[in-house]
Structures are given as C-alpha cells and as structure tokens.
C-alpha cells in the first residue's frame, strides 16, 4: 500500500513570522512530497510494500539507500509538521515538563543542549528529543534523513520532537543564520503534541 503525503495540520502561513509560508509550501509539497513519492517507488513490488514505516525504519540497515533516505524523509517530516503550531510561546507542562526539568536540570538547560545539537550538526540533518531504549529522555542528532528509529542510529529510541536543519527548511528566510532559525523554532513548538508523543513512547 502506498504511503500518502499527509496534509499540513495548519495553513502554510500559520508559523509566520518564524517560519515563512513560502518555505512551508515548498518544504511540504516539493520536499516531503518528493520523499513520499520516491519511497513508494523504492518499495513498490517488494516485501516492504505492506510494512509500517516504523517497521521499515527499525530494519533499515537491510534495505536500500533509497529506502533509507526517502523512508526517513517521509517519517521525519510527518513528525515535524505535527510538533509545530502557530501562536504564543508555550512551555512543556505536566509529566513531560517535570521529566525535562529532572533529566536536563531545567528547561533552559534542555533548550541549550537541543539547540547545540541542531547548530553543530554538520551539513544536513536533524536534532531530536527522544525516549531511548531505557526509557530516558535524550537529545541527539542524525545526518541526512536518518532518525533514532533506525537500527543503525548512534542513539536509538522513539523521537518525540525533531528539528529539520537542512538548508531547505530555513534558507529563504534565514540564509546562513541557522542559530536564529533554531531560536525561533522554540516559538512554534506544539508542546501538547510532544507530550502526546511522549506518553505513547513510554
């Protein structure tokens, strides 16, 4: 069964002024759409055709580079759209808020660690907040379209928050100013969605 490009859960301009509508339109339609189509081409007529994306990713070391790049791209962007929203600044609350405090020594310490992971990822990739295999919250980053669900990831687990630091995610508005993009990403995080991912991952 073919994977479908999911609709954005908001308008292209909903994350303005932090992420511009033109970037969102191209990023969703062309980039995420491209990964989805190429993933479908790569799995068509193979035994992967009826597997879930999570199962494909957890056995990624046994699949082709096309499945790795496009399967990662398909999954990562689906997560990325869902953990953002327009509107005011929001902090993690409840169990997630408390666990971030306890794990990282405060929200600011977490933000610094996550931002550093995103800023220092050389070239293209992602920064993650994930639940690792021991159930602990961890920050990591991966190259290209890899992610923590992949069996070949350095830090394995279930991602609950991800930031795309490919230039296609920010270049139109920010050019080479990746740190400014990272700072502004924190103004559009949907912490309710991240908390929901956290309770499912645990």
Binding site for Mn ion (CB under 5 A): 31, 164, 166, 169
**Shortest Cβ 102–Mn ion spacing (Å):** 32
Between CA 95 and CA 198 the distance in angstroms is: 9
CA angle 163–19–189, rounded 5-degree value: 50
Q: Are 57 and 149 in contact (CB under 8 A)?
A: yes
Which CB, 96 or 165, lies closer to Mn ion? 165
Nearest residue (CB) to Mn ion, 71 versus 92? 71
Looking at beta carbons, which residue is closest to Mn ion? 164
Residue 31 beta carbon to Mn ion: minimum distance, rounded to whole angstroms: 5
CB of 162 vs Mn ion, minimal distance in Å? 10
- Min separation Cβ 202 and Mn ion, Å: 27
Q: How far is CA 41 from CA 28, 38, 55, 96, in A?
A: 19, 5, 18, 38
DSSP SS3 for 169: helix
Comparing CB distances to Mn ion, the nearer of 128 and 166 is 166
Q: Which is nearer to Mn ion, 56 or 169 (CB)?
A: 169
Taking the least distance from each CB to Mn ion, the nearer of 149 and 169 is 169
Compute the least distance from the CB of residue 112 to Mn ion, in Å: 24
Q: At what angle do helices 65-82 and 33-43 cross, to 10 degrees?
A: 140
Q: Cβ contacts of residue 36 below 8 Å, gap of 6+?
A: 3, 4, 5, 70, 74
Pairwise CA distance, residues 115 & 51, whole Å? 34
């Amino acid at each position: 069964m073919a994977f479908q490009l999911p609709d954005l859960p908001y308008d292209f301009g909903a994350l303005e002024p932090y992420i511009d509508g033109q970037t969102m339109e191209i990023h969703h339609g062309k980039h995420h759409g491209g990964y989805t189509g190429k993933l479908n081409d790569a799995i068509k007529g193979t035994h992967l055709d009826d597997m879930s994306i999570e199962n494909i990713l957890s056995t990624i070391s046994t699949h082709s580079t096309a499945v790795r790049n496009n399967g990662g791209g398909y999954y990562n962007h689906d997560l990325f759209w869902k953990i953002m929203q327009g509107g005011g600044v929001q902090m993690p609350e409840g169990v997630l808020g408390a666990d971030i405090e306890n794990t990282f020594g405060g929200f600011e310490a977490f933000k610094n660690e996550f931002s550093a992971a995103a800023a220092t990822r050389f070239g293209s990739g992602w920064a993650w907040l994930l639940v690792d295999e021991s159930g602990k919250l961890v920050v990591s980053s991966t190259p290209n379209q890899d992610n923590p669900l992949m069996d070949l990831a350095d830090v394995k687990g279930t991602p609950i928050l991800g930031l795309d630091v490919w230039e296609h995610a920010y270049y139109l508005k920010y050019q080479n100013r990746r740190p400014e993009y990272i700072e502004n990403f924190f103004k559009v995080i949907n912490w309710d969605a991240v908390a929901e991912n956290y309770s499912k991952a645990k």
